Amino acid sequence: MAGIDENEYPIPTREQVTRLFIRNKELVNEKVPQGFIHLALTPMATPVSFLIERMGAAILKHAAEDSTKKIN
């Protein structure tokens, strides 16, 4: 992934993330019962405007798929 500084930064592979979870099994076992069941990889250098645009598109797509919900 290219950063705003135009340098390339690697995104961890599924295998790398799996290894981290295995190495930190005790912490994972503590956090899962607390409701931490999803992993979100968020690029730290992503402009907020881009994140807002992506979230807006996801909300509109979700709303279009479920016609019983309305967006005001």
Question: 55: which residues sit within 8 A by CB, 6+ positions away?
Answer: none
Say if residue 3's pLDDT is above 80: no
- Residues 33 and 11 placed together within one structural domain of the fold: yes
The pLDDT value recorded for residue 50 is 84
The pLDDT value recorded for residue 33 is 94
d(CA 59, CA 27): 32
Q: What is the pLDDT of residues 21-59, one digit of tens each?
A: 999 999 999 999 999 988 887 767 677 888 889 889 989
- Residues 33 and 48 placed together within one structural domain of the fold: no
Which comes out higher in pLDDT, residue 57 or 11?
57
- Residues 34 and 51 placed together within one structural domain of the fold: no
Say if residue 71's pLDDT is above 60: no
- Residues 16 and 27 placed together within one structural domain of the fold: yes
- Residues 48 and 34 placed together within one structural domain of the fold: no
